[in-house]
Structure 1
């Protein structure tokens, strides 16, 4: 079992200067170490530094390790991966580089079973073109360097194929798990140490060739046989090389396409968001312009009625005139009555004739006489002559009534507010058109997409080349095998038949054992993944899990129907990935600490508790880097009995001076 006592990061990513995290001695029953940190403070920097310690940057090999390429898709070489480019800062702390610091390294110290170990990866000459990367591994008193150290690291501490299973970002676990599921058989063979059987099979084949070679009757046949077999061996190595290269280019191309899709989506989203926001602003502008016109019309009407109100004498005179008109007869009224008198008389006589009970000569005389005298009587009364006609008097009276309900201040204020709102909306539209940040972001994305498409074209070309090379080498191999077959016909193998037969039987037995072992491991893996998944998500709709001969994983529901993994929620996919990781680590019997960034980001509250109590509560040392919203007081209470120590990441405003300090829970939550 491995236990990490100390992690030291010096001037790598967000960590400035020598930053040391001391985990102390192992405490029985307490295996959980929580390093809290806000987003952007250095949690991801920590996990990536741990990965780089074991994987390296590929500087000597000339290729960035596959597990690290996603950190810098635009980095085309290990040197650019280390030092950065215009799109990526590199792994070296920017402030330390600006200040010409010389120390850049990552260190793990601890125990492996009962032996002390110390592993350190260092970068030297970072301010020159000849940057150098060194690796030192010390186990007890034995030291190893560079290639030998990497080989020992893979054998004794953490094989490179295990890194993604033990050091990972919870936000990326679904993607990691997807890559694992796509090539699970290869991973199984590597992780579960089936590869040594392939080495034995190759050695048997080599020994068979050597036996046959010795039985050749003449030197020429013996030499030809030896040369052809060496050529065949060389071609087999080339085939493996080109297969690996073809797979790497295919994987790189797939990752490249995913990055293009992601960047294109981001670019389209900015445009779509801009369009939505712009449309919203234009709709608001149109609405305000209509409202402003309505306010103008309303104010215009108000002003028409109120324009003379500033002249108090005029308004008082008009009001007095209207009052006098109401209380006096008017000459115009008597003239109107005289014009209408004949009609009034005619109507009166008609009425009397139609009503004989009241019709008499006397009544008729009285009525006609009264009508004739009404104008004379009115003329003797107090009559009044006005320049305001009756129609105009009525209009003025109504106007004065309206004025009582007019609030000119409110109308003016509403129009003023509408104008301000319209001006602000127009300003927002102009600002949106020239939003420097968004424009810069769009331009950067366009550059990144162009660069990725250029890389895509190059990768497609390299993939075609490796495919053609592979086909060519396979054809060469077929030709060599034909030549070896003909040479075999010339060799008398009677004296070694028993040995050859034994070797063939041994070879077949190992092949059979290998296949049976793979089948056994396949079923064991299926049982373990399903058990872990149900432990973590007992009420899920997944009732069964199937792993076929190619180690492709399929999920089934309670009706035995297939469940498409990609259709599952982010939380379900993350829990499935955890179950796969957990099962593989158990099958490999590797007792390696877990280091997990953003461990519970996509998991709901109830399932967080299950992960803490099951996955994190194993006997393995587990270092998690959560935010205070992931492992809040509720989760902390469930995890408290397993927690050995608490830490907190602090950082400056420029996010380039991260430190990790011991902390109490009250300082964090």
Structure 2
């Protein structure tokens, strides 16, 4: 398997960059060499691989791989966003990684993060696009299957630090806390981390499930059932009583309506039921009629002359007044302009510059002045559109003409006011006449007592209705309260009964979870010996290949992560190791863990040669080159893989990139990867010569 493509967009110093890597060839070209000075984006590229593949889970493993302390995922993302990516509408950062399992099959993972205009990460916007690539065709997959694909087809997160790491930093971690680092590596290799996560999940399951399981009292459950049945019977009885009251109330309501109609037919309306009410209503309406008549009289006095004139004459008069207003305005403007004419002609005649050559004769001067006079006159004719041709109504003062025009426009609405007032007066007259007729009818009918008898019966019926409504309301409240009690009791009973049914199976599941938890506790200590010997052998063999000191014959590791070194006769030795030797041991440790894992995953190393001397550099490069089928991506400074090592291992180099920095202003820039270039490309050619 190998990484075939990496694409970064607005990630750290990369605005947009694509890396394409070939398949490790049978000819032995398995090294991808990416050169860059400090701060040019080598470590950022390694961090991008972690984030692109593992997302938030990568934070746990970045420190283990020597890639810094990144305990806050959101802050890490905000710092990773390229500063030139900030935009008013927000920004998007993405990492795309494509890895192949063979030449025809692979997967592509694109992880995208969204930020607001201030560069703040928008939580919940992380999105993963996952594709399967088979024979050049792309098939979208569900993003939640990524973890399983990485587990089965590539490198799961918990063992990624064995393959992707900072060569210089990883030895510091091993030096500071070597037993813990070794034990942690063994646990990741054996999957103990996953077992511990499972144990914790089972423990929480037991606690949460046990809280929900309560001992159910069967006798109490039967008592609840009996109480529920009794209340349901009482509820049915009250509902029957309610229906009985509703039918009686319906009959009384119909009788009340019949009495009301009979009283109304005898002149005893629902609003006016006696002589006093009729007379009061009549006085009120007569007062309204008098006010309406007064308004009508006032309108007739002021408006009737205009209403007697024909509409055609009014329109003509309105048009003439409007035209005269415009004509007078035009004449006033012309008068103001004509006052300046003589002064204009006088100054024109006196002006001697520019000189005319030849000079105008007296006859020509007179013709010119006459022409100017004619042009001036033409400026004031013809009259503008809508102006009156003559002023007929001289007697109307200028300031009153607009008022008159407004008054003429009001004549049309006056017609509607007259019609409205006449209709209102007629309506009031009809209402007054109806009251007079009702007064006469009541006065004649009420003398025999029929109306009073009907009123008495209506009052009695209304009293019965009020009493029944009061009783019905009481019954309805009892029903509401009882129904609430029945619903609550029913819900409680169903809940308790359900728990009663489920209690035994749930208790059984809790017991099973507890047994599995105990099994994990027993299993973990027994797992270490399964790989301990194999790991010890792998680390020892790798250490011998990498180290130039051969006094250490064997490296042993116990199940606590403690390391002991033995010489040829099995004697324990202690060696004060240099920084370079620490890096060699850390590299051997990771190589051993990677070897025991059985994965042929790519190896990605930042600062691969760090503090190593020339012998150790030869050894470690030879070690990486020796596995021809494993892709090895080295992120190197110019002083690590220099011109000598570049030339020495050139036949194993499949691809090169050189990271360069370009300034963008505002104290930041971007990284550009130049394909098929390295620090000493020209130097190597010179060396060949």
Q: Output the TM-score relative to the length of structure 2.
A: 0.48
* Structure with bigger gyration radius: 2
Q: TM-score, normalised by structure 1?
A: 0.49
